[in-house]
Amino acid sequence: MKTNAISAMAVWYHAKGEVVLRRSELAEPGPDTARVRTLYSGISRGTERLVLDGLVPPGEAERMRAPLQEGNFPFPVKYGYCAVGVVEAGPPSWLGRTVFCLHPHQDRFVAPVAMLAAVPADVPPRRATLAANMETALNALWDSGAGPCDRIAVIGGGVVGLLVAFLAARLPGAVVTLVDVNAARAHLAAAFGAGFALPAHAPDACDVVFHASASEAGLSTAIGCAGDEATVVELSWYGDRAVSVQLGGAFHSRRLRLIASQVGQVAPSRRPRWPYARRLDAALNLLRCDALDALVADSIDLADVPVHMPKLLKNQPLGLAPVIRYAGAE
Query: Which pLDDT tens digit goes with each residue over 80-135?
Result: 999 999 999 999 999 999 999 999 999 999 999 999 999 999 999 999 999 999 99
| CB burial string 239-277: b at 16+ within 10 A, e below | beeeeeeeeeeebeeeebebeebebeebbeeeeeebeee
The model's confidence at residue 1, banded by pLDDT at 50, 70 and 90, is: very low
Angle between helices 131-144 and 159-168 (to 10 degrees): 60
State which fold the 7-130+287-325 domain adopts: Quinone Oxidoreductase; Chain A, domain 1 (3.90.180)
Residue 46 has pLDDT above 90, yes or no: no
Mean pLDDT, residues 189-204 taken together: 98
pLDDT at 217: 95
β-pair type (195-197, 175-179):
parallel
What percent of the chain shows pLDDT beyond 70? 98
Of 223-232, 254-263, 310-319, where does mean pLDDT reach its minimum? 310-319
Select the more confidently predicted residue: 201 or 3. Answer: 201
**Does residue 191 have a pLDDT over 70?**
yes
Average confidence (pLDDT) over 305-324: 83
Lowest mean pLDDT among 14-18, 141-145, 241-245, 298-302: 241-245
**Per-domain residue ranges for the chain?**
7-130+287-325, 133-260
**Mean pLDDT value of segment 183-195:** 96
Strands of the sheet containing 18-25, edge to edge, are 18-25, 7-15, 77-78, 70-71
Neighbours of 5 (CB within 10 A): 11
pLDDT at 316 exceeding the cut of 60: no
For residue 319, the model assigns a pLDDT of 57
pLDDT at 36 over 80: yes
What would the mean pLDDT of 144-169 be, rounded to a whole number?
A: 97
**What does the pLDDT read at residue 245?**
86
Task: Assign domain 133-260 to its CATH superfamily.
Answer: NAD(P)-binding Rossmann-like Domain (3.40.50.720)
In this structure, of 163-177, 187-201, 259-273, the range with the lowest mean pLDDT score is 259-273
Name the CA radius of gyration of the chain, rounded.
20
More confident residue, 277 or 316: 277
Mean per-residue pLDDT over the chain, rounded: 94
Secondary structure (3-state) at 279: helix
pLDDT of residue 317 exceeding 90: no
